Amino acid sequence: MAKNIFLVFLTVILCFFVGELTIRFIDPPYFKNPYRKYDSELGWTNRKECSSYNIQGDKKPWLLEFNKEGFRGVNYPVIKPRNTRRVIILGDSLSEATQVNLEDIYWRKLNHLLEKSSSLYRWEVINFGAGDYGTTQEYLALVGRALKYAPDLIVLQVFPLNDICNNSITAAKIASPQDEYRPYFDPKTQYRTITYTSPTTAWLRRHLVLFRFFDVRIRHLTSKISGKPYAGSSDSWLSHIQSKLTEFGLPTVSLYDSPLYSALASILLNTFAEPKYQLPFIRDGWEATDHAIKQIYVIAEKARIPIIVLVFPGELELSPKYAKWRNRFPFPVNRHYPGQRIAAVLRPYNVPLLTFIDTFEECPDKVIPYIDGHFNAAAHEIVANLLVNVIRNVLPEVPDYQWGKIFTFDGRGMGQGSLTYGIAKPAMDISWTIAEKAGIHLQLPQTEKQLIMKLRAVPFAPEKLGTNQSVNIYFNGKKIACWSLFGKSMTTYQALIAPSLIAADKPSEIMFEFSERQSPNTLGISPDARLLGLALFDLVIDEVPK
């Protein structure tokens, strides 16, 4: 008897593992969207390195391509190539932009504009925006996916019409039928942790593919038996939204041809009301949104990466539609409120913010009509043209230098824009050289006087390395000095520069070429595997008095 029970138990376990491995291999869909895929950290992404055609009406279909990270766009190597600057995009469906061709999306146009205007760098603009994402998911995408690409700039795109509810766990099943998969900052822990509408179900989904497979299908079967709409269906979603409208005494305003989107907009437009008029779950959503934006800034600040925030308007926020619906609700609305609120959140951090309502209002014939509630190609082009100018200010091609001015390599000020290649992102108050050759670019003024360059740096030359490490210094291709590296304390290195070496029409390059490098890991000092040369602290170039 005991033996039979053991065999039955063993058979069940074996069947479980076979079923788990089989379902993992088949990888069946869990979403209505054919290219959507469950993701244990983000809730969902798109299927990695897949493609699909988007067909809308009688228009010619266009190809949707998703990269190895599951986001729309092309593949990029994780290790950033030399002389390359990277911009990452965090956003939602307006950044995924399945309504237009890849080359018409604002971040692709931005990539081409930056490349065209740059004489020193290649540019790579990498999209991490996906349909229906909230700001919390964008924060998780930054931490878990985007930072490893060593970005030089983060662009956060916000769409207030539904992003606010996408961040609110108390608004679950209002913003989207996918809310049960969505991670949220937990208001019960003052937004310090991530939670789900059902943490237990989320844990089972994360660890057991069989659970995900049968969970969806059992609910479909239960729906058929009971005659009630399936929980993830449009009918169920509409029913839930209508119940909320009834609960709060809100009218259903006919803003779209679709009853679903008219009912949804009738709730979401409460995000444009002042706090005292906001529904409880909208108020929660705004608090969660404020927190998520701050957390994205904290991560960017810690990594010494500048950030720009974009607030995209919906078609309902633009004239003449705005004038038609704004007085049809029992609460006052202000279409500028989201931008004003986000500006208040960002003000202490001096982060550039771009809102596009006024810009779009100046050219309604171009940006309207939207395509399925999203930007058309002309709107994307307007965004790219405005954004490129802001990026040029945040990340100047090279700093203009004034004799005698000291600048640091701590990630702030002029030092940030001068680091071109072979140098790691600033950490603390220094930037380590991590390649055999490392370059700095500066736009120097013309002079007839001899120049002296003074660089304060910490050499990576511990006793275990010996005294053989040295570095050759080149100025615009001509060797001007050779420094021997000793010890591990702050040292001031000097070199003379002839005025004839300064290029009149292009930036000047200071290049460091190291003879020997070792890693702290190899020498048993720390786990750091980088091959280090100098930790750059600050630099000054001045004229030598005659």
Confidence of residue 382 (pLDDT cuts 50, 70, 90): very high
- Across 373-392, average pLDDT: 95
Count, residues in the chain: 546
Q: Does 357 score more than 70 pLDDT?
A: yes
Return d(Cα 202, Cα 193) in angstroms, integer.
15
Binning pLDDT at 50, 70 and 90, where does residue 16 land?
A: low
From the number of C-beta atoms within 10 Å of its C-beta (0-12, 13-18, 19+), residue 303 rates as: middle
CA–CA separation, 305 and 314 (whole Å): 29
Terminal Cα-to-Cα distance of the chain (whole angstroms) = 104
Per-residue pLDDT band for 353 (boundaries 50, 70, 90) equals: very high
Examine the pLDDT at 52 and tell me if it is beyond 80: no
How large is the average pLDDT for residues 387-414?
A: 80
DSSP letters for 274-306? -GGGS-HHHHHHHHHHHHHHHHHHHHHHHTT--
Region 154-177 average pLDDT: 92
Select the CATH number that applies to the domain covering 407-543 from these four: 3.50.50.60, 2.60.120.260, 2.40.400.10, 2.40.110.10. Answer: 2.60.120.260
Question: Is residue 408 within 8 Å of residue 537, measured between CB atoms?
Answer: yes
Does residue 187 contact residue 284 with C-beta atoms inside 8 Å? yes
Q: Out of 12-26, 30-44, 246-260, which region has the weakest mean confidence (pLDDT)? A: 12-26
Q: Is the pLDDT of residue 307 over 90?
A: yes
Element housing 122 (H / E): strand 122-127
- H-helix segments, 312-464: 321-325, 337-346, 357-361, 364-367, 377-394, 414-418
This prediction's pTM: 0.81
- How confident is the model over 306-332, as a mean pLDDT? 92
CA atoms within 13 A on the CB side of 466: 7
More confident position, 241 or 220: 241
Q: Tell whether the model's pLDDT for residue 163 goes beyond 60.
A: yes
* Amino acid code (one letter) for 112: H
**Is the predicted pLDDT of residue 199 greater than 80, yes or no?**
yes
* Residue-wise pLDDT tens digits, 463-507: 666 556 789 999 998 999 998 887 778 889 999 999 899 877 778
69: Cβ contacts below 8 Å, ≥ 6 apart? 45, 48, 128, 145
pLDDT of residue 468: 64
pLDDT value of position 94: 96
Summary mean pLDDT of the chain:
86
pLDDT band of residue 524 (cuts 50, 70, 90) is: confident
> What pLDDT does residue 504 have?
72
Place 23 in a pLDDT band, splitting at 50, 70 and 90: low
Q: Say yes or no to pLDDT of 273 above 90.
A: yes
pLDDT at 288 over 90: yes
- Residue 413 in this model has a pLDDT that exceeds 60: no
Return the residue matching tokens 């998520």: 292
When pLDDT is cut at 50, 70 and 90, the band that residue 121 belongs to is confident
pLDDT score recorded for residue 253: 87
pLDDT band at 19 (very low <50, low <70, confident <90, very high): low
Residue 32's pLDDT is 66
Q: Is the pLDDT of residue 414 over 60?
A: no
Domain 31-394: CATH architecture, name and number where available: 3-Layer(aba) Sandwich (3.40)
Write down the H helix ranges in 227-279. 234-247, 259-268
Portion of the chain with pLDDT greater than 70, in percent: 88
Q: What is the pLDDT of residue 529?
A: 86
Residue of 19 and 122 predicted with greater confidence: 122
